[in-house]
Amino acid sequence: MGKVGIRPDLRYNSPVKIVSWNVNGLRSLANNGYWESFLKGTKPDIFCLQETKASPEQIPEAMRSPAGFSSFFSSSQLRKGYSGVAIYSKVEPLKVIYGLGIREFDQEGRLIGAEFEDFWLLNIYFPNGGQGPERLDYKLRYYDAFLTFAEKLRKQKPVIFCGDVNTAHEEIDLARPKENEENTGFLPKERAWIDEVVAAGYVDSFRHFHPQTKDAYTYWDMKIRARDRNVGWRIDYFFVASEFMKRIKKAEIHPDIYGSDHCPLSITFL
């Protein structure tokens, strides 16, 4: 749904900015005024949202179809107000895909992808590993199924995937690594999957440009006001196929954008 875009140069030589954000509920953004500050503060050409917690008909028109963007949504089939992802783009994608094609993984509205002329963009809200061993097992199986899926698409053209991975990769990626060694989100078996992603030839774009930067996080626990003290986790990523990395000029985190327990992140490429 949406409008024909206004960026016909997306495939050419003008910088393109893609932004990713776990919004923790689109309807709350609509009510608290942070939607406008997000668009003005990040100025995206394409943006990917996770944990939208709403179907399109539940959000205002200005958010469902903002001026100049085409918009695409995938919502949970299991229950309303849960999970969900969306892609907004100033250029109409060649194709949009919904899910991995595996029923048990596609009922929660966790993946939406867009094909452009020279790359695939996959927007993912990976499962959280909390709520017991069964859910952790589900998360790990989803991880494996997703990487297989991405690699199939990569045979056609380079893949960029972004979103809430729900795991911090290295100790530098969270404020209190020692205290969280036995907690989901920093378990060795979760972190090992990110090692697999890197070994497969996907580059953690933020860490590529900022290899030693500390205290750079994308998520904070709101219950304990962790953002005020920057006691956070970097669990949101842009992973870029190595063959596309030469085009990436910048990767940033935007901690000054509020409205969620996560902040946006972005890449810019030519």
Provide the annotated active-site residues. 164
User: In 10 A of CB 199, how many CB atoms?
Assistant: 8
User: Do 236 and 48 meet the contact criterion of CB atoms below 8 Å apart?
Assistant: no
CA 12, 146, 250, 222 dihedral sign is: positive
Tell me the helix, strand and coil percentages in the chain, rounded to 5: 35, 25, 40
User: In 10 A of CB 156, how many CB atoms?
Assistant: 10
Phi/psi-derived region of residue 24, left when phi > 0, alpha when psi is between -120 and 50, beta in every other case: left
User: In 10 A of CB 263, how many CB atoms?
Assistant: 22
Q: Which residue, among 62, 64, 179, 83, has the nearest Cα to 125 in the 3D structure?
A: 83
User: In 10 A of CB 62, how many CB atoms?
Assistant: 11
